Amino acid sequence: MKFTKKKAAVLTLTAVLACGTLAGCDLVTTNSLNDLRQVVAEVDISRNADFAAGGAYEDYADIIDTATVLKRDLLANYISVGYQYVESYGYTYEQAFDLILASLVNRQIYLQYALVYLFESGDYTVDGYYAAVDAAEEADKEIAGYAYFLDEETIAKTEYDLKVTFNTTLDSMETSIIEQEEEEHNHDTVRTTPTGVDTQNEDFYDTAYAIYTGKNSASYCGTYETVEGSTSATRKKAYKELLANLNAYGLIEKGENTSEITSLSYYQTERKGAYQDAIIDLLTERFEEEAEGTITSEWVRQRYEETLATQQNTFSEDTEAFETALDGVSDTSFVFFAPDENYGFVINILLPFSSTQTSQYNSSPADYGDPKGNKFLTRASLLQKVRATDQRTTWFTEHNDYSFVASEEDGAYTGGDANRQYLFFENNIKKSSATEGETAQYEPIANYYGKYTYNGKVEVTGENEHGETEYSFTPNKLSIDDFLGEMKDYLFFAGYTLEDEYAAGAEYYTRSVSEYYDEEGNVDYSKFLYYKGNIKELSSFNANEVFVAGSAENEVMSVINELSFAYNTDTAGLNTYLGYVVSPNETDYMKEFEYAAQLAVASGVGTVTVAPTDYGWHIMYCTFSYVGQQSPYVFDENEIAIEGSFSNLYFEALKASNLETYSTNRRTAIINSYDNDDCVTTYKERFSALIKQLDAE
């Protein structure tokens, strides 16, 4: 498991300008563009006594230049995020702007200190810094100063990320243009996709990457991929719109060549901000290196044992607190102890009644002779007619066509059906591995097997007027027995065997009313169980390997998870880590569901149960269970290096939390040292009229 570094936040106007918010709002038209260029704060930590003669940092006093915060930066931050302080948290406008200004000032303090810290580290020299600055062209001297501290890979990554930001902004604008041009073109709601789709590896960069404006060719922009329906005409419109917004906000200088985006002064301003971010990230990394010495496997073991003891004491007495904790379980948050063994999690796949079947069920009378007035026989009759279909058709359509024709090398599962050709998420499947010495462009999708083709026939019917590929679909229709067969076959394809323990079969639909009740006349929910089976290879469950890619625990869960994305109409269950929490106590679930879910958990990980509710068939798979051991996790320092293992995830989670705390404390101390009248000058009167304007609205 890879934990993403928490980057220092810096506002880029690009995203705000993408929708023209600033250019078209009253706050801009009321204030002249020259007014928006006013300086509202100046920051220069070299005014502190530390930089005076005899001070600790006197050698670096000349390195620090006064930084300015402009009124337009303040306004852009307000429109981007600051308004939420007022609308959601009850701040006054004055308080919101004060908070934003403080944030912008603090960033400049931290950035200036970062330069001093890096010199103090001994890895850099003042002479080397000045040599780098002197060698640069006049317009690039400030960036050259920052680049002096960065290695070639970081510089390449910084340039790449900046271009990605601009392309992402243009993508958003272009998508809006395409949608406006096709208002009459109706789209279905896109089915939920797995978490991580098209997520790029944070270390990836492409030196050939370029910003696509429509004036150039997308094929010459490296790994950039156009949005669905993109043409050079729609891209040019998006670029023209961005330029208009920049111009309206006074961000294009007179006489600038707007045909080349990277030559704009605004681009260079954003580029400078990107290099500043890289310097701040470098300082954060240095702080993390300082803190890492305290994070030993023995320290982690002690934390584990302390947390286990605390949870055992708490959860043994407070079941409600335990069940609340279970709701927060993930691959970074663990519950080490359960007060009862029969707790766990299930993935639930709902194969629903059709709207017609639901209407028939709701309007039907109670079963003849049913002493409780239930409709069990009617429901059983309708359940026999339920047909599931693959729900992923919208992954072929809209502006993100995730489908691709599987090649022989993809090793896709087709169930022996030649019509089944399409897989999904090509980027994550094909571009998430790299040759030695390279970085993969995309991350693999966690807990998603990725080999299950669309279950039906797909035909390309052509392109619509907007350049989108159009398809026709003939989905295969699956009864509950067909679905179970499909599940077994796909598991077997992945190397696992689902063995039947109980299968009701045809007699399930021909029972008498009395068979649903016990001798006391109470509903016997065991009679609704349609199927129970177990994955043979999971007879010995290892909780420490649930998130280890390639382990039996993870592979089977990934297969079931993919089937859930394909068929499940209970969309609330998609993209949960382990599924629904199942308690051995009375729950709010429908009783048939509750019985089958509790049975799955009590029978252990790898168990599949099937039962109905008034919504249709529920297929439940137990992903995690405390059965057999109330404390299933074992911290083992020898497994820290095994990615995805409990020991690895727990170590990395504690490490990330500890490093963030350390870095935050250091940052706070630095800001407190220099956020004073000596180093910071603010001009609140220069935006007081803006606050009054907002107060008056």
DSSP 602-642: HH-TTEEEEEEETTEEEEEEEEEE-TT-SS-----GGGTTS
The enclosing H or E element of 373 equals none
Q: What is the pLDDT of residue 77?
A: 83
Question: Do 275 and 244 belong to one domain?
Answer: yes
Question: Do 485 and 371 belong to one domain?
Answer: yes
Question: Do 230 and 375 belong to one domain?
Answer: no
* Average pLDDT of the residues in 622-636: 95
Question: Do 361 and 487 belong to one domain?
Answer: yes
Amino acid of residue 582: V
Give the domain-ending residue among 605, 629, 653.
Answer: 629
Is residue 401 situated within a structural domain?
A: yes
Is residue 328 situated within a structural domain?
A: no
Question: Do 603 and 525 belong to one domain?
Answer: yes
- State pLDDT tens for residues 200-211: 999 999 999 999
Cβ atoms of residues 150 and 278 within 8 Å? yes
- What total of structural domains would you count in the chain? 3
* Average pLDDT of the residues in 259-281: 93
pLDDT value at 397 more than 90 = no
Q: What is the pLDDT of residue 3?
A: 41
CA distance 161 to 18: 17
Q: What is the pLDDT of residue 445?
A: 96
Give CA separation, 320 vs 234, 315, 569, in Å: 55, 8, 29
Residue 26's Cβ-side half-sphere holds a number of Cα atoms within 13 Å equal to: 6
Structural domain of 169:
152-181+201-292
pLDDT value at 220 more than 90 = yes
pLDDT value at 364 more than 70 = yes
Q: What is the pLDDT of residue 4?
A: 43
Question: Residue for token digits 């028939």?
Answer: 360
Q: What is the pLDDT of residue 160?
A: 96
Is residue 116 situated within a structural domain?
A: no
Q: What is the pLDDT of residue 34?
A: 76
Distinct helix (H) and strand (E) counts, the chain: 22, 13
Q: What is the pLDDT of residue 16?
A: 60
Strand partners, 347: 621
Backbone angles phi, psi at 583, to 5 degrees: -105, 150
pLDDT value at 260 more than 70 = yes
Cβ atoms of residues 330 and 546 within 8 Å? no
Return mean pLDDT, the chain: 91
- State pLDDT tens for residues 445-500: 999 999 999 999 999 998 877 667 889 999 999 999 999 999 999 999 999 999 99
Question: Do 358 and 482 belong to one domain?
Answer: yes
In 10 A of CB 63, how many CB atoms? 18
Give the domain-ending residue among 459, 475, 491.
Answer: 475
Name the pLDDT band for 324 (thresholds 50, 70, 90).
very high
Q: What is the pLDDT of residue 124?
A: 96
Give the domain-ending residue among 585, 610, 629.
Answer: 629
Is residue 105 situated within a structural domain?
A: no
Name the pLDDT band for 603 (thresholds 50, 70, 90).
very high
Question: Do 446 and 490 belong to one domain?
Answer: no
Amino acid of residue 596: A
Name the pLDDT band for 25 (thresholds 50, 70, 90).
low
- State pLDDT tens for residues 559-575: 999 999 999 999 999 99
Question: Do 553 and 460 belong to one domain?
Answer: no
| Percent of the chain surpassing pLDDT 70 | 94
Is residue 115 situated within a structural domain?
A: no
Q: What is the pLDDT of residue 456?
A: 97
Residue 88's Cβ-side half-sphere holds a number of Cα atoms within 13 Å equal to: 5
Q: What is the pLDDT of residue 221?
A: 97
Which residues of 476-606 form beta strands (DSSP E)? 498-503, 531-535, 580-582
CA distance 74 to 694: 14
Q: What is the pLDDT of residue 528?
A: 97
Question: Do 265 and 410 belong to one domain?
Answer: no
Structure token digits, residue 383 = 């359940």
Question: Do 583 and 551 belong to one domain?
Answer: yes
Structure token digits, residue 677 = 């009248």
Structure token digits, residue 153 = 């890979």
Is residue 642 situated within a structural domain?
A: no
Cβ atoms of residues 351 and 388 within 8 Å? yes
Residue in 184, 167, 214 with CA at minimum distance from that of residue 466: 184
DSSP string spanning 129-158?
Answer: HHHHHHHS-GGGHHHHHHHTTS-HHHHHHH
Better-scored residue on pLDDT, 602 or 433: 602
Cβ atoms of residues 202 and 440 within 8 Å? no
CA distance 476 to 482: 10
CA distance 110 to 43: 10
Cβ atoms of residues 367 and 374 within 8 Å? yes
Please state the pTM of the whole predicted model. 0.88
SS3 content of the chain, % helix, strand, coil (to 5): 50, 10, 40
DSSP string spanning 652-663?
Answer: HHHHHHHHHHHH
Amino acid of residue 521: G
CA 228 to chain centre: 21
Is residue 161 situated within a structural domain?
A: yes
Question: Do 212 and 361 belong to one domain?
Answer: no
Name the pLDDT band for 8 (thresholds 50, 70, 90).
very low
Q: What is the pLDDT of residue 15?
A: 60
pLDDT value at 694 more than 50 = yes
pLDDT value at 535 more than 60 = yes
Cβ atoms of residues 660 and 1 within 8 Å? no
Question: Do 159 and 286 belong to one domain?
Answer: yes
pLDDT value at 602 more than 80 = yes
Task: Give the contacts of 246 (CB within 8 A, at least 6 positions apart).
Answer: 17, 252, 264, 266
Is residue 53 situated within a structural domain?
A: no
Backbone angles phi, psi at 405, to 5 degrees: -75, 125
CA distance 254 to 266: 12
